[in-house]
Structure 1
């Protein structure tokens, strides 16, 4: 490499490879489903890896018209649990790609703010 300049063709190939890996990871996330539950399984929320809610199940024994607040709390807790699972799945799928961005490409520093 003259003058220590990075090989532009190699950089373009690496960028295309990372783009393909990103698209694959995004597709896997869109297909994956995770669940969160609360109250020992009284309320269960299912979401995709992309964050789309696909289901909410409430055990009939959790429904007490005199105590709606507890049910609301259980639903909220189940959503939080599902979102935590979704974040973990996203980290697992996208983490290696983010590490590639922060590490930079040969001859180039990591991306700013990454």
Structure 2
């Protein structure tokens, strides 16, 4: 800021460029992160990226009952939702570090679409 109270635009632009690069870096780290969620005491494990994409699913054969396919579907959904919630928490934490705790809707839980 200049002595007369006028903001130093060059300094503001430099700070904005630094924050933008930090955001890009954080988003890249999140896309590479792998977060697990489980259901049925670990019988079903879902893995999502930090951006919420489902990248893995492991199902213990003991829960594959042809007579109760609905239970298996429920377990898969629960594991995927658990993994997505864990990914959203991680994203909110990482973005919160960049914004200094500012109320930023882009980092709010629920923004990954799950």
TM-score, length-scaled by structure 2 = 0.83
- 1:28 corresponds to: 29
RMSD: 1.8
Which contiguous aligned blocks of 4+ residues in structure 1 show a shift greater than 4 angstroms?
none
Higher relative contact order (CA 8 A, sep 6+): 1
Q: TM-score, normalised by structure 1?
A: 0.83
CA distance in 1, matches of 2:99, 2:47: 26
5+ unaligned residues in a row in structure 2: which ranges?
A: 104-114
Count of matched residue positions in the alignment of Structure 1 and Structure 2: 103
Compare CA radii of gyration and give the structure with the larger one.
1
User: 1:100 and 1:40 mapped to 2: Cα distance?
Assistant: 34
C-alpha distance in structure 2 between counterparts of 1:101 and 1:16, whole Å = 18
Any gaps of 5 or more consecutive residues in structure 1?
103-114
The 1:100/1:77 distance shift into structure 2, 3 A limit, reads: closer
